[in-house]
Amino acid sequence: MKRADRKLAEQYVDFVRRRSDESRSSCQQFDRKNHRNIARLTARGVTTVNELIAVLPQLPPKLKAFGIWWVQVTKPRSAEKTLLRMLHDDPPYRQSYASALGMIGGRRSIRHFLRIGRTQLASKSPDRNWLEAVIQGIKFANNPSPDIEEMLLAIYERTNLPGWLRGDAADALGCCGQLRDRRTTFFRRAWETARNGIGETDIEVKFWSMYVIMQLAQSNFSNRTRSNAMFTSALPQLLEIAATDHRLAPGYWWPMSAEAEDAIAVIETGHHQENDAGHRWQGHPERGPMNRDA
């Protein structure tokens, strides 16, 4: 039986079973809520993923949100056509559709997102919501193509875009293979943007630029010895951030200063610290604010 033809209730039981004991214990309320959603769908005659895909556009908000999430979890290829249509027809859920399409990872979807991205970047007034959807739709790609990597870098470079949007692009950019070869124009553009980014006032650009610098400076990437002086030129600003900027990083539980300390360590040693910022601040309950309205 194909995955999309299995009963939703059976699939969810398997989904819960595959999780760790700790996850099952901590997510009991979440799972009960989803079981109720599945019961409501069953009462509507919707019992399989394929049936869920067929009715997804007409579902009420709570069931629609669950349905999109479950499609994102199960990744049925049969959902791609419907999700691409709803990406345009149902703007309030655009980012959720984009994330689901990104997890499915179909070539048609990726080509579609790249076309949208190029159109928006060519505009004098790019639509930030569409660009956010583009990032969501391409950032999960396995072995991202040069076209995907170029799109992420182009968004990160654009100083007229909101900091949170550029930060999201930089986050995804950190996994790009072209960052591993210091002989390329792509590498030099990423370095220049990150080097400038740690001096910007926007906290999200500053934070994710430190992350990109860490990715660029790793010693397992090619031609490290020829480029050490390039990275050490960022040390004065990173040392200043480490000493003075104790704001919590946007969306995270460690401060900007801790992220700067990690970047300094990678520049000086070529390796990420085993006891990184996330571990050093583990258990800290607060999170840094995120401004998605800018």
Burial 169-200 (b: 16+ CB within 10 A, else e): bbbbbbbbebbeebeeebbebbbebbbebbee
Q: What is the pLDDT of residue 286?
A: 95
Position 196 pLDDT exceeds 90: yes
Q: What is the pLDDT of residue 226?
A: 52
- Residues ≥6 apart with Cβ < 8 Å to 274: none
What's the chain's Rg over C-alpha atoms?
21
**Tens digit of pLDDT for each residue in 73-121?**
999 999 999 999 999 999 999 999 999 999 999 999 999 999 999 999 9
- The reply to whether 90 falls in a domain is no
Q: Of 54-58, 183-187, 254-258, which range is least confident?
A: 183-187
Position 222 pLDDT exceeds 70: no
Q: Do 71 and 83 meet the contact criterion of CB atoms below 8 Å apart?
A: yes
- The reply to whether 186 falls in a domain is yes
Q: Do 65 and 21 meet the contact criterion of CB atoms below 8 Å apart?
A: no
Give the model's confidence band at 177: pLDDT under 50 very low, under 70 low, under 90 confident, else very high: confident
Q: Do 151 and 114 meet the contact criterion of CB atoms below 8 Å apart?
A: yes
* Cα gap 257→42, rounded to integer Å: 50
Give 16 or 179, the one with higher predicted confidence: 16
Mean pLDDT to the nearest integer, 139-159: 93
* Cα gap 250→239, rounded to integer Å: 20
Q: What is the pLDDT of residue 1?
A: 46
Q: What is the pLDDT of residue 34?
A: 96
* Cα gap 130→137, rounded to integer Å: 10
Mean pLDDT to the nearest integer, 190-202: 97
Q: Of 49-58, 76-85, 170-179, which range is least confident?
A: 170-179
pTM of the predicted model as reported, rounded to 2 decimal places: 0.91
Give the model's confidence band at 123: pLDDT under 50 very low, under 70 low, under 90 confident, else very high: very high
Q: What mean pLDDT value characterizes the chain?
A: 92
Three-state secondary structure string covering 102-133: HHHCCHHHHHHHHHHHHHHHHCCCCCHHHHHH
Please count the structural domains in the chain: 1
Mean pLDDT to the nearest integer, 39-57: 95
What is the percent of the chain with per-residue pLDDT over 70, rounded to a whole number? Answer: 95
Q: What is the pLDDT of residue 15?
A: 93
Give me the domain span that covers residue 245: 143-294
- The reply to whether 243 falls in a domain is yes
Mean pLDDT to the nearest integer, 275-285: 93
Q: What is the pLDDT of residue 294?
A: 62
- Residues ≥6 apart with Cβ < 8 Å to 113: 98, 101, 133, 134, 137, 138, 151
- Residues ≥6 apart with Cβ < 8 Å to 88: none
- The reply to whether 281 falls in a domain is yes
- The reply to whether 250 falls in a domain is yes
- The reply to whether 280 falls in a domain is yes
- The reply to whether 290 falls in a domain is yes
- The reply to whether 227 falls in a domain is yes
Q: What is the pLDDT of residue 2?
A: 58
